Chain A
Amino acid sequence: MAPVDRPDDLLRLEDLRVAHDGCDVLGPLTLDITARRTGIVGRNGSGKTTLARVVAGLQAPTAGRVTISGIDPAKDRRGALDRVGILFQNPDHQIIFPTVEEEITFGLRQQGRSKAEAAAAVTAILTRFDKLHWRAAATHSLSQGQKQLVCLMAVLVMGPRWIVLDEPFSGLDIATRLQLMRHMARIEARILMISHDPESFAGYDRVIWLEGGALREDGPAAPVLARFTAQMRHWGDADDLSHLAG
């Protein structure tokens, strides 16, 4: 699908800082993102989820500013609804409603769509993913990958210009991951994806590497990922030295 380019589809972080309990966990970070596909990598605890939450407006920064397609996502919650959607690291934390249909409908009603419009949009998104038979399914009875797909549909149906994905593939088997990646490749919205797996960034334009809450590298996907992978191997090898031979 051809991307619809709006001049204001810009994610701007200005001197962004986030502290938890007085302890700096992210920033200062100043970045402009316009790429269609941007990856975020870094070790555990490097601040990736914190960045995702701030971008999606779930958390206000301690200092500095976030602007996404013209609005402040933490302050303008109504405006944020059609600008940015987020897929949580754990789909169990995202699903609110007992059936697939209700889960997908909720966001649409929040956007002020009528019941009839919402029902039509639910049918459209389920059809697009070839999952019309999931409509009445109980969300708690779905597998992890199926839950992840429901969350993705619930976010996509709202038509946000940006989608933030926090490790969408963790806990999925290889086939499910490939299917989900294929679905994601077709998304028109701009994507900001966190992942530990360099292979999941196939086709990505740009990769941002965080280290201890600060920017370690930022640039075209392939070279940044290559250096990131080499560094991770190196750190991994360092741990291997403590293993006993035998």
Chain B
Amino acid sequence: MISLTSPVETWAHRWPAGLKLGLMSLATVALFATEDPAILGASAFGVALLYASAGARFARAGARQLWPLWPFLVLIALWHGLSGQVAAGVALTLRLLAAVALANFVTMTTRLSAMIEVAAVLLAPFRRLGLSTRALEISIALVIRFTPAIARKGGLLSEAWRARSRRRPGWQIVMPLAALAIDDADHVADALKARGGVLPIPDTDQKG
């Protein structure tokens, strides 16, 4: 669901990554500080406006990214509906939707290298203690980069299953998917190694 690339260049691409991440963190804390469905509803609407401000193509791509959330939202609605806490259920759903959509907006409009630089800046105190933080910075990049890739592999596996079966795949594809993920990890390890592996890079311009 996290996408790193937007189909178009938007105004938000030109904002500094650190600023976007900072504002997103503040907004997320605020979302979790309130229980008022009206405020949460307004926030969700505000996030929708944010997507709309970036153009129709961007908004459509964003909506596609968020679509896989619906089973969770249905589950939450059902649970709260059954236990009679309708207001709490609505609040939780809106909060989740607004927070995830906002995070997705930031990832769609921020280059991975810019994200890594923010991480590098935040980790600077550890570097001053003499620890190499490069491994952590690269790990963050890889998680962001490969989460959608593995999700796509899962989709392909279930298609391969359905092509030869009348029933929907269930737990049976978990093992092959894990094997694929490990295989992918092997390839990435090679690709990293081919270009020097996790080398500490000079600190000179990381703060830029």
Contact = CB atoms under 8 A, between A and B. Distances in A.
Nearest to B13: A136
Contacts of B57: none
A101 B4 CA distance: 14
A28 B31 CA distance: 65
A80 B194 CA distance: 9
A94 interface: yes
Interface in B23-41: none
Interface stretch (A30-38, A107-115, A205-213, A233-241): A107-115
Contacts, number: 78
Interface residues of A, number: 37
A78 interface: yes
B204 A114 contact: yes
Interface stretch (B69-77, B163-171, B172-180, B183-191): B183-191
Given A96-B145, A102-B113, A115 B205 contact: yes
Nearest to B194: A86
A94 B194 contact: yes
Contacts of B208: 115
Interface stretch (B46-54, B82-90, B96-104, B195-203): B195-203
Contact of A97 (B113, B201, B204): B113
Contacts of B9: 136
A81 interface: yes
B87 to A, nearest CB: 40
In this complex, which of B112, B142, B208 has the most chain A Cβ atoms within 10 angstroms of its Cβ?
A: B112
Contact of A94 (B111, B113, B145, B191): B191
Contacts of A57: 193
A33 to B, nearest CB: 20
Contacts of B191: 88, 93-96
Interface in A84-126: 85-86, 88, 90, 92-99, 101-102, 105-107, 109-112, 114-116
A16 interface: no
B4 A77 contact: no
A41 interface: no
A56 B192 CA distance: 12
Interface in A123-147: 136, 138, 140-141
Contact of B201 (A85, A96, A101, A112): A112
B195 A158 contact: yes
A46 B133 CA distance: 41
Interface string B125-156: 00000000000000001100100010000000
A154 B4 CA distance: 20
**Chain B interface bracket (under 10, 10 to 19, 20 to 34, 35 or more):** 20 to 34
Contacts of A116: 205
Given A77-B199, A98-B4, A99-B5, A85 B194 contact: yes
Nearest to B3: A98
B195 A110 contact: yes
Contacts of B187: 90, 92-94
A178 interface: no
Contacts of B193: 57-58, 77
A100 B200 CA distance: 23
Interface of A: 56-58, 77-78, 80-81, 85-86, 88, 90, 92-99, 101-102, 105-107, 109-112, 114-116, 136, 138, 140-141, 154, 158
Given A57-B193, A78-B196, A114-B204, 15 more contacts: A58-B190, A58-B194, A77-B199, A88-B190, A90-B187, A92-B187, A93-B188, A94-B191, A94-B194, A96-B192, A99-B112, A110-B199, A110-B201, A140-B149, A158-B195
19 contacts: A56-B194, A58-B193, A77-B199, A81-B195, A81-B196, A94-B187, A96-B142, A97-B113, A98-B4, A98-B111, A102-B113, A107-B196, A110-B195, A110-B196, A111-B196, A114-B202, A138-B4, A140-B149, A141-B5
